[in-house]
Structure 1
Amino acid sequence: MNELLLEKLHTHFGHASFRPGQEEVIRRVMDGRNVLAILATGGGKSVTYQLPALLLPGITVVVSPLISLMLDQVQQLRTRRKIPATYLNSAQDYTESRDVLRELSSGAYKLLYVSPEKLQQPYVQSVLKRVGVSLVAIDEAHCISQWGHDFRTDYLRLPDAIRQIGSPPVLAVTATATSEVRSEIGQLLHILPEDMIVQALNRTNISLDLIAVTDEGERREQVLRMIDELQGPGIVYCSTRNAVEVLVASYQLEGTKRVHGYHGGMESMERMLIQSQFIADELDVIVATNAFGMGIDKPNIRYVIHYQVPSSLEAYAQEIGRVGRDGQPGYAVLFHVEDDWHIHQHMVEKEYPTQMQVMQFYHWFHSHSGQPRTSEVWAALEMTEEMVQLLTFYAEQTGLTAEVAATGEAERDHVLRIWQETEKRKRLKKQKLFEMLSYVEGTEGCLRKKLNHYFGEEQAEFSLYCCSHCGLDRKAFQGKISTVDRKKLENSWDLRQALEILLPKK
Structure 2
Amino acid sequence: MNEQLLDNLQAHFGHSSFRPGQEDIISRVMEGRNVLAILATGGGKSITYQLPALLLPGITVVVSPLISLMMDQVQQLRTRRKIPATYLNSSQDYSESRDVLRELANGAYKLLYVSPEKLQQPYVQAVLKRVGVSLVAIDEAHCISQWGHDFRTDYLRLPDAIRQLGNPTVLAVTATATADVRHEIGKLFQIESSDMIVQALNRANIALDLIAAPDEGERREQVLRMMDELEGPGIVYCSTRQAVEVLVASYQLEGSKRIHGYHGGMESMERVLIQSQFLADELDVIIATNAFGMGIDKPNIRYVIHYQMPASMEAYAQEIGRVGRDGGPGYAVLFHVSEDLQIHQHMVEKEYPTQLQVMQFYQWAQTAKDKPGSEALAAVDLTEEMVQLLTFYTEQAGLSAEVAATTEEMQDHVRRIWEQTEKRKRLKKQKLFEMLSYVEGTDDCLRKKLNRYFGEDQTAYSLYCCSRCGLEKQAYEGKSSVAHGKNLENSWDLRQALEYLLPKN
- Measured against the shorter chain, the TM-score band is over 0.9
Counterpart of 2:426?
Answer: 427
Match of 2:457 in 1: 458
Q: What is the CA deviation profile of residues 390-422 of structure 1, one whole-angstrom value per residue up to 9, with x for unaligned ones?
A: 000001111222454456671111100000000
Residue aligning to 1:105: 105
Letter aligned with residue 247 of structure 1: L
1:357-372 equivalent positions in 2, closer than 5 A? 357-368=357-368, 370-371=369-370
Shift of 1:376: 2.1
What letter is aligned with 1:386?
A: E
1:138-188 CA distance string (max 9 Å, x none): 000000000000000000000000001111000000000000000000000
Q: Which amino acid counterpart does residue 10 of structure 2 have in structure 1?
A: H
Distance 1:161 1:9 in 2: 30
CA distance in 2, matches of 1:373, 1:119: 23
Q: Summarize deviations over 1:332-355 as a string: whole Å, max 9, x none.
A: 000000111111011000000000
Three-state SS of the structure 2 residue aligned to 1:220 is helix
Counterpart of 2:76 in structure 1: which amino acid? Q
Distance in 2 of aligned mates of 1:35 and 1:139: 12
Per-residue Cα deviation, 1:82-126 (whole angstroms, up to 9, x for no partner): 110000012211111111100000000000000001100111111
- The corresponding residue for 1:39 is 39
Partner SS for 1:410: helix
Q: Structure 1 vs Structure 2: percent identity of aligned residues? A: 81
Aligned ranges for residues 112-123 of structure 1 at < 5 Å?
112-123=112-123
Residues 59-208 of structure 1: pairs in structure 2 closer than 5 A: 59-208=59-208
Q: 1:2 to 1:373 in 2, by over 3 A?
A: farther
Given that residues 366 and 406 in structure 1 are in contact (C-alpha distance below 8 angstroms), is that contact kept between their aligned partners in structure 2?
Answer: no
1:416 aligns with 2:415: yes
Deviates more, 1:242-251 or 1:353-362: 242-251
Cα distance in structure 1, aligned partners of 2:106 and 2:124 = 15
For structure 1, list consecutive stretches of 5 or more residues without a partner in the other structure: 482-506
1:23 counterpart residue number: 23
The residue that corresponds to 1:223 in the other structure is: 223
Q: For 1:372-383, what aligned pairs fall within 5 Å after superposition?
A: 374-383=373-382
CA displacement at 1:292 relative to structure 2:
0.8
Checking the alignment, whether the CA contact within 8 Å between 2:394 and 2:401 is kept in structure 1 is no
Match of 2:243 in 1: 243
SS of the residue 1:214 aligns to: coil
What is the CA distance between 1:371 and its match in structure 2?
A: 4.3
AA of the residue aligned to 1:16: S
Whether 1:439 aligns to 2:438 is yes
The separation in 1 between residues aligned to 2:467 and 2:423, in whole angstroms, is 35
Listed one character per residue, the Cα deviations across residues 238-277 of structure 1 (whole Å, up to 9, x for unaligned) are 1111111111111111111111111111122221121111
Equivalent residue number for residue 399 of structure 2: 400
1:422 partner amino acid: T
Q: Normalising by the residue count of structure 1, what TM-score does the alignment of the two structures yield?
A: 0.93
Contact 1:104–1:131 (Cα < 8 Å) also in 2 = yes
Q: What is residue 53 of structure 2 aligned with on the other side?
A: 53
Letter in structure 2 aligned against 1:149: H
- Partner Cα distance (2:250, 2:258) in 1: 13
Give the 3-state SS of the residue equivalent to 1:43 in structure 2: coil
Separation (CA, whole Å) in 1 of partners of 2:183 and 2:155: 16
Asked whether the 8 Å contact 1:312–1:432 carries over to 2, the reply is: yes
* Equivalent position of 1:486 in the other structure: none
2:61–2:113 Cα contact (<8 Å) kept? yes
Corresponding residue for residue 274 of structure 1: 274
In the TM superposition, what is the alpha-carbon distance from 1:50 to its structure 2 partner?
0.5
**Counterpart Cα distance in 1 of 2:420 and 2:300:** 43
Query: 1-side partners of 2:133 and 2:263: how far apart?
Result: 35
Quickly say closer, same or farther: Cα 1:32–1:339, change in 2 above 3 A: same
Aligned-partner SS, 2:468: coil
Asked if 1:255 corresponds to 2:262, the answer is no
Q: What are the Cα deviations for residues 201-244 of structure 1, in whole angstroms up to 9, with x where unaligned?
A: 00011000000111111111000100110012111001111111
Give the AA of the match of 2:349. E
Residues 416-425 or 247-256, more deviating: 247-256
Mapped to 1, the partners of 2:205 and 2:440 lie a distance apart of 24
C-alpha separation in 1, matches of 2:406 and 2:58: 47
* 2:211 is aligned with 1:211: yes
SS of structure 2 residue aligned to 1:282: coil
Quick check: 2:362–2:402 contact (8 Å CA) kept in 1? no
Question: 1:313 aligned to 2:313?
Answer: yes
Distance in 2 (alpha carbons) for counterparts of 1:254 and 1:209? 25
Query: In the superposition, relative to structure 1, how do residues 479 and 91 fare at CA in structure 2: closer, same or farther (>3 Å)?
Result: closer
**TM-fit CA distance, 1:375:** 2.1
Name the aligned partner's letter for residue 457 of structure 2.
Answer: E
Matched, 1:388 2:359: no
Contact 2:352 2:386 in 1 (8 A): yes
Kindly provide the amino acid, as one letter, of the partner of residue 135 in structure 1.
L
Alpha-carbon distance in structure 2 between the residues aligned to 1:273 and 1:77: 20
Distance 2:171 2:356 in 1: 40
How many residues align? The count is 480
What does residue 474 of structure 1 align with?
Answer: 473
Q: Secondary structure at the match of 1:434?
A: helix
Q: Deviations over 1:266-323 (max 9, x none)?
A: 1222211211111111111111111111111111111000001110000000000001
Partners of 1:359 and 1:252 in 2: CA distance = 47
**Residue type matched to 1:357 in 2?**
Q
State the one-letter code of the partner of 1:435.
Answer: E
**Helix, strand or coil at the partner of 1:211:** strand
- Is the 1:365–1:405 contact (alpha carbons within 8 Å) kept by the matching residues of 2? no
Write the distance in 2 (CA, Å) between the matches of 1:446 and 1:399. 47
What is the rounded CA distance, in whole Å, between the counterparts of 2:16 and 2:130 in structure 1? 36
Paired letter, 1:424 = K
Distance 1:242 1:403 in 2: 38
User: Aligned-pair distance for 1:365?
Assistant: 2.7
Quote the offset at 1:80 in angstroms: 1.0
Corresponding residue of 1:485: none
CA contact (8 A) 1:447 1:469 kept: yes
TM-score w.r.t. the length of structure 2 is 0.93
397-406 vs 65-74, greater mean Cα deviation: 397-406
Which 10-residue stretch deviates more, 132-141 or 252-261?
A: 252-261
- Structure-2 change in CA distance of 1:373 and 1:141 (3 Å): farther
Secondary structure, aligned partner of 2:97:
helix
CA distance in 2, matches of 1:367, 1:166: 36
Deviation string for 1:360-388 (max 9, x for gaps)? 111223344x5477122222211111111
Q: How large is the RMSD of aligned CA atoms in angstroms? A: 1.4
Greater Cα shift, 93-102 or 261-270: 261-270
The secondary structure found in structure 1 opposite 2:86 is: strand
Which structure has more RCO (C-alpha within 8 Å, separation ≥ 6)? 2
1:304 matched to 2:284? no
AA paired with 1:150?
D
Q: Name 1:322's counterpart in structure 2.
A: 322
Deviations 1:413-434 (A, max 9, x none): 1100000000000000000000
Give the direction of change, closer, same or farther, for the CA distance of 1:58–1:437 in structure 2 (3 Å limit): same
Query: Which residue identity lines up with residue 465 of structure 1 in the other structure?
Result: Y
